[in-house]
Chain A
């Protein structure tokens, strides 16, 4: 196929959402009209998706780099598009999920005012532009810019219901925590530039992440840069202990959670690691840290997910947990494993969120207990949701099974036994909590909320069913995807796979036994109540708040004290000296004209005397 050059397609995919953002954003009457603005946004997403699909089919790699930020005839930064297997496939994932979410939002956001709907699609277009720009970045600097834009879009969309105080707080919390982590990316960029400048003969640094750069800066340099980059990854991809913003981000509209806080934006951190992998490979210490931290996040978040009563919170913690898988897999040296899981997870997690959105839309509540028995009312969305849950639980044949298996085998092969066991346990827990959600929401006792529930409209069903196809099929894309990434992949059963599958099936059985068949009574279950309460007490959130209150506010009040008494003190002293000096001097001023004439006369006499003296 030779429709257009890869660079043209990439430019179209990135610029179409920018165009729609500007059109909706700047033409106020269009924005306030609601539905037409939504269609413009969807048109942009469609263009991006088609361009990305053509790019994947085309299969060629290319790179366009334009000089940028010049000084004295030299350019120390560049900007452009890098088209290769990784960026093309990621572009397709992002654009496709964005398309699904934007179409889904037509139905889900139908109660919104026209002006609100226009604002919603403006921010969606901004997000898609930033995310596509991030994906196509040829270097770390452009990625950083788009990374921050993505963060801004996330803030705006989490706080979409800004009249609700909790949504405003959640938006600010997400923004500040990711910004705190982004200091790492900024510092990493500076370190990368300084180190490459030191290593290069002409003294010019670069923001590239190529193997040559990794070689030039050595293991020590790569450890610094990759370590700093990883701090930002922890923030964006919600790794322990910076994951605390993600559950709160569920205050945003559900489709936003599906797009940003499950499928694409939070995967940006993982994507950064994938892109800068040569640097990470040169830093074994960072990789080891990633392996352990990812595994810990995976099991930690999975445990919390088992006790959540809000369907979106369960999925949010599940996202943390799955991102932990990706990070751990990348840490264990499996670039493909981490990326493959990102790829499949984007599909089935977006499906789960949109499915959850359909359920929430039907009962107007996020609580699992308010749903119950929705299966009979919503056969299609229900089936899709169950497919997503099974894919996440790692049932053989569905998407999550293959990618999770790749990561687990990579950990097994790298000899990291402890993280491997943690991830296996997390796999069992994943199956357990997803079964719990399905059992409670779809098959539980119907509440009064479910009486008026009805199947979702077509605009919501089409994206959900499309994503259901990916949840089933994405796992079989492993071979082609591996070829695009430059790795080998062929599925085969192994010890690890058998253990993980058995644990997953055990988790499903246990979840169904407790929440579906109710073999265990509520009284017997109450034995675990203290543990549940402990988990629900959200110790990490509290300690983060404590650190904020004591360390950050303490530091802040210290600086305020310094400002008030030292900086202001110097100012006040100067003012006081001038004042008191003036007080002393004013006694000379008699105000009588004669006295001044005397002074002039004395001055003249003195000047004349001085002139005579010197002559």
Chain B
């Protein structure tokens, strides 16, 4: 398989992630969008790593996965707190920062 195919898949995944983040009102949906974007990046790292013939990118992707796990935990904690304080997980409900 040519590298471009992986990169195209990664780009498609990234765009889906951005679309999800922008359109979802549900905070969990937004979080899933963010996950899609990180994994698109990971895919790019691995594909380019394979194309260039050394392992730095793959190793980096492993670290990235570990970090993503931590990020999801924090993100879910935020969602949980959002639900507790607003009785809802809709991002529209949290507009305290309105100027």
Q: B22 near A591 (CB under 8 angstroms)?
A: no
Which bracket fits the contact residues of B?
10 to 19
Q: Known contacts A592-B91, A592-B92; is A597 also within 8 Å of B98 by CB?
A: no
Q: B22 near A601 (CB under 8 angstroms)?
A: yes
Cα(A597)–Cα(B31), bound, Å: 13
A583 CB to closest chain B CB (Å) equals 9
Cα(A589)–Cα(B18), bound, Å: 21
Nearest-neighbor residue (CB-CB) of B33 within chain A: A597
Which residues of A are found within 8 Å of B91, using beta-carbon distances?
592-594
Q: Number of contacts between A and B (CB, 8 Å)?
A: 33
Which residues of A are found within 8 Å of B43, using beta-carbon distances?
none
A145 CB to closest chain B CB (Å) equals 61
Cα(A590)–Cα(B95), bound, Å: 7
Partner of A587, one of B22, B94, B97, B99: B99
Q: B92 near A597 (CB under 8 angstroms)?
A: no
Q: B21 near A591 (CB under 8 angstroms)?
A: no
Nearest-neighbor residue (CB-CB) of B92 within chain A: A592
Q: Known contacts A592-B92, A594-B91; is A586 also within 8 Å of B18 by CB?
A: no
Residue A613 CB within 8 A of the other chain = no
Cα(A589)–Cα(B97), bound, Å: 7
Residues 572-595 (chain A) with a chain B CB within 8 angstroms = 585-594
Residue A598 CB within 8 A of the other chain = yes
Q: A597 near B22 (CB under 8 angstroms)?
A: yes
Q: B18 near A591 (CB under 8 angstroms)?
A: no
Kindly supply a per-residue 1/0 record for chain B positions 61-99, scoring 1 wherever the CB is within 8 Å of any chain A CB and 0 otherwise: 000000000000000000000000000000110111111
A603 CB to closest chain B CB (Å) equals 13
B14 CB to closest chain A CB (Å) equals 12
Nearest-neighbor residue (CB-CB) of A591 within chain B: B98
Which bracket fits the contact residues of A?
10 to 19
Which residues of B are found within 8 Å of A586, using beta-carbon distances?
99
Main secondary structure of the interface of A (DSSP, over half): helix
Partner of A589, one of B22, B92, B98: B98
A589 CB to closest chain B CB (Å) equals 3
Which residues of B are found within 8 Å of A587, using beta-carbon distances?
99
Q: A588 near B94 (CB under 8 angstroms)?
A: no
Which residues of A are found within 8 Å of B95, using beta-carbon distances?
590-592
Q: Known contacts A593-B91, A593-B94; is A588 also within 8 Å of B18 by CB?
A: no
Most chain B C-beta atoms within 10 Å of own C-beta, residue among A586, A589, A590, A591: A591
Cα(A587)–Cα(B98), bound, Å: 8
Cα(A309)–Cα(B94), bound, Å: 87
Q: B22 near A598 (CB under 8 angstroms)?
A: yes
A331 CB to closest chain B CB (Å) equals 77
Q: B22 near A585 (CB under 8 angstroms)?
A: no
Which residues of A are found within 8 Å of B18, using beta-carbon distances?
601
Cα(A161)–Cα(B31), bound, Å: 81
Most chain B C-beta atoms within 10 Å of own C-beta, residue among A585, A587, A594, A601: A594
Which residues of A are found within 8 Å of B98, using beta-carbon distances?
589-592
The interface of chain B, by Cβ under 8 A from chain A, is 18, 21-22, 25, 30, 91-92, 94-99
Given A594-B91, A601-B22, 16 more pairs with CB closer than 8 A: A585-B99, A586-B99, A589-B98, A590-B95, A591-B97, A591-B98, A591-B99, A592-B91, A592-B95, A592-B98, A593-B30, A593-B94, A594-B21, A594-B25, A597-B21, A601-B18
The interface of chain A, by Cβ under 8 A from chain B, is 585-594, 597-598, 601
A-B contact pairs, 23 of them (CB 8 A): A585-B99, A586-B99, A587-B99, A589-B97, A589-B98, A589-B99, A590-B95, A590-B98, A590-B99, A591-B94, A591-B96, A591-B97, A591-B98, A591-B99, A592-B91, A592-B94, A592-B95, A593-B30, A594-B91, A597-B21, A597-B22, A598-B22, A601-B22
